[in-house]
A and B are shown apart, each in its own frame.
Chain A
C-alpha cells in the first residue's frame, strides 16, 4: 500500500514538472510587477504562498498599488476566482477514493487551472499521493518563481523572459489537442468555447468585464451544450465508485 502511494507521488511530481516550469515566468513577472509597484520582495512572496492563483494575484497586487478599497479587492478576486467553483465541482465528482477532511482541503487549495487540467486528463489513479506530488511540485515552482522574480528582477535576457510567457499556453495545447483529435464531441465543445472566448476578447463592451468572466462564461456554455448534444451514457467513474463502496 505504502509503495503504491510513493509511486503515485512520483507520478504526480513528473506531471507537476511542466506545470512548475510554466509557472516560473508567470510568477517571475508577478514578482517583478510587485517590486516595480514599490513593494519589497516579502509581500508578493507571501501572497503567492497564501493564494496560489495567477490572475487573482495580478489583479490583487495592481489594486494594492493603486490603494484600492479592501472591499473592491475582495470582490474582484471572488469574481476572477469563481471559475474554481466549476473546476472543484468537476474534480470532487472525479475523486472516487475516500479521503480525510485535511486531504480534501489540501487538494482544494492546490486546485489551480493547470493542476485541475493535468489531474482531470490524467489516466492513472487519482490518489492523494498523486495530488500531493503534482501540487507540491507546481506550488514550489510558483512560490520560488515569485521570490526569484522579485529578488533578481530582470537578470534573464529579455527575449527569453518574454518567450517564456508562451509556456503555459503551449502546455494547455499539449493537454487539450490530443483529446480533440480523438473525440469529435470534445472537438466541438472546444470550438464553441474558443468562439465565445474570442467574443470576450474582441467585442468592445465585453472586454471591459473583469477578467475571470471571460473564462467562466465560455466554459459553462460550451460544457452545457456538449452535455446536451453528447450526453455520456455509461459513466465508468460511477461503476468505480460503486465498487469502492
Chain B
C-alpha cells in the first residue's frame, strides 16, 4: 500500500470511529424514557464524566507536579467562589505559569 493511500484510509477510519459512537444514540427512536433508573443515570452522567476527566489528570497536566497542583488549587478555589468560567481558566493558567517560571 502506498503512503498516501495509507494516510487517506487512516484519516477516514479515525473519522468514522469518532463519529459512530456519537451518532448512534441520536438515531434511536425519540420518546420518553420510562425507567426512573435510566433517567437518573443519564442525568448524572455529566457530573461523573467530569469527575473522571479532571482527577487525577489535572495534577499531571504539566511536566511539573507542583505547578499543576498549584493550578488545580487555584482552579478549585475560583470555581467554588465565582461563576465565570473564563476567570477560573485564566486564573489557573497564570498561577501555573508563575510556578513554572519560579522553578
The reply to whether A117 and B50 form a contact with Cβ atoms under 8 Å apart is: yes
- CB neighbours (8 Å) of A224 from chain B are 41
User: Do A92 and B89 form a contact, CB below 8 Å, given A163-B71, A224-B41?
Assistant: no
Give Cα distance in the complex from A86 to B25, angstroms: 8
- CB neighbours (8 Å) of B67 from chain A are 162-163
Within 65-103 of B, Cβ neighbours of A (below 8 Å) are at 67-68, 71-72, 74-76, 78-80, 83-86, 88-89, 91-94, 96-97, 100-101
Question: For chain A, which range describes its interface: under 10, 10 to 19, 20 to 34, or 35 or more residues?
Answer: 35 or more
- CB neighbours (8 Å) of A177 from chain B are 76, 79-80
- CB neighbours (8 Å) of B54 from chain A are 169, 172-173, 176, 194
- CB neighbours (8 Å) of A191 from chain B are 51
- CB neighbours (8 Å) of A105 from chain B are 23, 26
The reply to whether B25 and A92 form a contact with Cβ atoms under 8 Å apart is: yes
Given contacts A88-B24, A163-B67, A174-B79, 19 further A-B contacts (CB under 8 A): A47-B14, A50-B12, A70-B6, A78-B17, A84-B22, A85-B22, A85-B25, A92-B28, A166-B71, A170-B75, A173-B88, A193-B52, A194-B52, A194-B54, A218-B52, A219-B45, A219-B52, A223-B44, A226-B41
- CB neighbours (8 Å) of A51 from chain B are 14-15, 18-19
- CB neighbours (8 Å) of B46 from chain A are 90, 116-117, 120-121
The reply to whether B86 and A21 form a contact with Cβ atoms under 8 Å apart is: yes
Give Cα distance in the complex from A18 to B91, angstroms: 13
Give Cα distance in the complex from A72 to B16, angstroms: 14
Among A1-9, A106-114, A144-152, the stretch that binds chain B is: A106-114
For residue B2, CB closer than 8 A to chain A, the reply is no
For residue A77, CB closer than 8 A to chain B, the reply is yes
Nearest Cβ on chain B to A221's Cβ, whole angstroms: 8
The reply to whether A89 and B25 form a contact with Cβ atoms under 8 Å apart is: yes
The reply to whether B18 and A190 form a contact with Cβ atoms under 8 Å apart is: no
The reply to whether B78 and A174 form a contact with Cβ atoms under 8 Å apart is: yes
Most chain B CB atoms below 10 A, which of A52, A63, A175 = A175
Nearest Cβ on chain A to B55's Cβ, whole angstroms: 4
For residue A167, CB closer than 8 A to chain B, the reply is yes
- CB neighbours (8 Å) of B74 from chain A are 170
Of chain A, the residue at the smallest CB distance from B40 is: A227
Nearest Cβ on chain A to B82's Cβ, whole angstroms: 9
Of chain A, the residue at the smallest CB distance from B34 is: A238
| The one of B10, B15, B17, B40 that contacts A232, using a Cβ cutoff of 8 Å | B40
The reply to whether A222 and B44 form a contact with Cβ atoms under 8 Å apart is: yes
Q: Enumerate 6 A-B pairs (CB-CB under 8 Å) in ascending A order.
A: A83-B21, A120-B46, A172-B50, A174-B89, A189-B44, A235-B43
